[in-house]
Amino acid sequence: AQSVAQPEDQVNVAEGNPLTVKCTYSVSGNPYLFWYVQYPNRGLQFLLKYITGDNLVKGSYGFEAEFNKSQTSFHLKKPSALVSDSALYFCAVRDKSSSASKIIFGSGTRLSIRP
Amino acid sequence: EAGVAQSPRYKIIEKRQSVAFWCNPISGHATLYWYQQILGQGPKLLIQFQNNGVVDDSQLPKDRFSAERLKGVDSTLKIQPAKLEDSAVYLCASSFSGAGGAGELFFGEGSRLTVL
């Protein structure tokens, strides 16, 4: 069975500092990995995904994520945080090996950027 | 390009009443998903359609929840009778790629259900 874990419920960062939101996953085969952001009273918005190839993936709003197969991790990063980055972030995984596999979401990490 | 449309945005009902949510995916997207998001949790997949066929409904409480996508375009999710624990946001999403593909999901803004 596939699963995804976001070990931190909340991450607090000062504006201008680098940020990291952690994600680890478990699948039987190889993964497709995704990050989404959710603003209050809105649906989820896609940020970036890893399919194959380069382990460093760049996405929207200056975010990037690094795929680490040995650590089964896909941490979200940004070199310099903005107050507007404050939101709820979800990591998600899908198992490549199954044509009918589901996209499973983590429990979310609330990112708070202080001015 | 129009996004995923959902209605109603908000609904308040008494327990044991029924409710229906509607979703119209992005044009051309073959795969449609319904997720349930309880406050403080990540979205949980209820049902996944590929065109008008069900790919996965393993986590749909079939004694009270039903969903259909008759013409392979828009979809309706129904709850009858509702329970207090059904209070959640119901998110509809669609994807261009087929089931199991690498395509990202595009989400609607959700339908918030409160059961009293």
Q: Delimit the domains of chain A by residue range.
A: 3-114
- % of chain A surpassing 70 pLDDT: 98
Choose, out of A33, A51, A102, the residue to mutate when testing the contact with B (most B CBs < 10 Å): A102
Q: Give, in order, the Cα–Cα distances in Å from B25 to each of A112, B30, B78, B90.
A: 32, 9, 17, 14
pLDDT, averaged in runs of 10, over chain B (116 residues): 92 97 94 94 94 91 94 94 97 83 89 97
Q: Is B27 on the interface with A (CB under 8 A)?
A: no
User: Contact B75/B34 with Cβ under 8 angstroms?
Assistant: yes
The pLDDT of residue B103 is 83
Which residues on chain B are in Cβ contact (under 8 Å) with A1? none
Please write the tens of the pLDDT for every residue from A1-20: 789 999 999 999 999 999 99
Structure tokens at A84: 């507007």
Tell me: pLDDT of A32 over 90: yes
Tokens 């995704």 belong to residue: A34
The pLDDT of residue A43 is 86
Q: Give which of B104, B98, B83, B62 is closest to B19, Cα–Cα.
A: B83
Choose, out of A30, A44, A96, the residue to mutate when testing the contact with B (most B CBs < 10 Å): A44
Of A32, A45, A107, the CB nearest to B102: A32
d(CA B82, nearest CA chain A) in Å: 22
Domains along the sequence of chain B with CATH: 5-96 (2.60.40.10)
Q: What's the CA gap between B67 and B74, in Å, rounded?
A: 11
Structure tokens at B51: 């065109």
**Strand-pair category, B10-13 with B111-115:** parallel
Q: Which amino acid is at A102?
A: K
The pLDDT of residue B99 is 62
Per DSSP, A8 falls in state: -
Which residues on chain A are in Cβ contact (under 8 Å) with B105? 34, 36, 44, 46, 103
Q: Is domain A3-114 in CATH 2.60.40.10, yes or no?
A: yes
Q: Is B67 on the interface with A (CB under 8 A)?
A: no
Backbone dihedral angles phi then psi of residue A62, each to the nearest 5 degrees: 80, 5
The pLDDT of residue B100 is 64
Structure tokens at B54: 């069900």
Mean pLDDT calculated for residue range A46-53:
92
Please write the tens of the pLDDT for every residue from A88-105: 999 999 988 876 678 999
